[in-house]
Amino acid sequence: MVRKWMIAILYSLILLANSTMASAETEIVQVSNLKTLEEVCQHYDELVFEGNQSMDYATFQVELGYRIPGSEASAKLINSFSENATGYEVSTPSHYVDGMNATNLIAKYSPESSTGEVVIIAAHYDSRDRAERDENPDLRDNPIDGANDGASGVGVLFELLPIIPNMNLSHDVWLILFDAEDQGVTPSMLGSKAWAANLTQEEIDTISAFILLDMVGDVDFNFRKEMLSTPILWDTMLNISTALGFVEGELDCLGEQGTDVYNLNKVPVWIQDDHVSATNVGIPAIDIIDVNYGDETILGGYFHTTNDTLDKISAESLGKAGKIVELGLRSGSWIDYQPSFIEIVNSTTNSTEEEIIESRMFSAFEKIVITSQIILIIGIVVSIRIIKSIELASRPRTK
């Protein structure tokens, strides 16, 4: 009798989980400009990004020395990037935050026929002021080279500088180098927060997407979904990555089997990074970050150690990150992501577009799957405890 009750309870829990997942599927958010794989592949032969210049510029940055806010190395980096930003409007706003002078660099490119929409490609250029995760306690107060955590993303942006003006784009592109992302006991993204705080609502409304590159140089470049990013941008990422052959088991634009770069099977991560400064003010954003640097632990390995050096990154990896950004730009995949460009399809609710978009900060379907699994586990544990209690109570007692 008891076992039948247990089976009945578990069966009811499974039905509940399935019914909630089924109801979640009735609410779909569709992006009006989401490019199909075929549309993305039409621009595959236009790609020119390689990664060698990115690697050279990462080397240049590390050789400058530690890029601590206010340092000579930081100033030289800003000057170098500005001098190479031909055809861009460059500004270097400074902000005094937490006792340091943080200087961002914003390079704006606007084609003559621009619609006024903006796509932002960003990276932080400061290197961490301490190696608190180093295996050697004597080195934990030392600054790090930041070859991957800092120089890699900036290297990709540098190689993009001369490529973007030749793409025949119909929208603006801003390349932004953020300062003071990785400083202090707990990295606080101070540069991007200051940038976001100074945006006007008019500027926010024109920014279609914010693409962040962080730690993209690991010789074994492999990234997964990051859950503080805007979910619809991961739909775009899937098509771009598939087209490039970066999704294992899927055919790329040439009909060849993809390799494991964007991994759909790894557990998603939640990373506080510069992209959160964008999403906090209503800008759709995505964080392309490889959280397995040197081993399979999340933000372990060489992360925040003195081993974050040039020999741990490669031009090939930087080339992959750059191709993702370039193909997204050439195919128009990064535009039309502000709420005004989004339509609701097959929704059974009376929610407004803004309410539904906000609710998708984490994928509704993914949240319900996780919640359902938790409910099942709790139900099983409770059922087992109840059964054991009943069986124990029904046994004859002895002295």
Q: Yes or no: say if 312 and 218 are a contact pair by the CB < 8 Å rule.
A: yes
Question: Per-residue DSSP letters for 227-272?
Answer: TTS-HHHHHHHHHHHHHHT-STTSB-TTSPBP-SSB-SSSPPB---
Q: Half-sphere exposure of 313 toward its Cβ, with a 13 Å CA cutoff?
A: 36
Task: Please say whether the beta carbons of 42 and 93 come within 8 A.
Answer: no
Q: For Cα atoms 222, 226, 229, give the angle at the middle one, nearest 5 degrees.
A: 135
Work out the number of other CB atoms within 10 angstroms of the CB of residue 338: 19
CA dihedral 358→359→363→367, nearest 10 degrees, is 150
Q: Please, which residues have CB within 8 angstroms of residue 174's CB and are 6 or more apart in sequence?
A: 106, 107, 108, 109, 118, 119, 120, 121
Q: Are 86 and 55 in contact (CB under 8 A)?
A: no
To the question of pTM greater than 0.85 for the whole model, the response is: no
Task: Please report, for the chain, the start and end positions of each structural domain, with discontinuous segments joined by +.
Answer: 2-27+346-393, 38-341
Contact (CB, 8 A) for 356 and 27: yes
CATH 3.40.630.10 correct for 38-341: yes
CA-based Rg of the chain, rounded to a whole angstrom?
A: 24
Can you give the pLDDT at residue 16? 46
Residues 6+ apart with CB under 8 A from 129: 66, 68, 143, 182, 183, 184
Query: How confident is the prediction for the chain on average, in pLDDT?
Result: 85
Q: pLDDT digit string (tens) for 240-260?
A: 999 999 999 999 999 999 999
286 and 210 Cβ atoms separated by less than 8 Å: yes
Question: How do residues 55-66 score in pLDDT, each as one tens digit?
Answer: 999 999 999 999
User: Can you list the alpha helix ranges (DSSP code H) found in the chain?
Assistant: 2-24, 37-41, 52-64, 72-83, 151-160, 190-197, 201-206, 231-244, 274-279, 315-330, 353-359, 364-394
SS3 of 190-203: the string is HHHHHHHHCCCHHH
Q: Which residues contact 239 (CB under 8 A, 6 or more apart)?
A: 34, 35, 36, 37, 40, 333
* pLDDT tens, per residue, the chain with 399 residues: 444 444 444 444 444 444 444 333 333 344 447 899 999 999 999 999 999 999 999 999 999 999 999 999 999 999 999 999 999 999 999 999 888 999 999 999 999 999 999 999 999 999 999 999 999 999 999 999 999 999 999 999 999 999 999 999 999 999 999 999 999 999 999 999 999 999 999 999 999 999 999 999 999 999 999 999 999 999 999 999 999 999 999 999 999 999 999 999 999 999 999 999 999 999 999 999 999 999 999 999 999 999 999 999 999 999 999 999 999 999 999 997 765 444 333 333 333 333 333 333 344 444 454 555 666 666 665 666 665 555 544 444 433
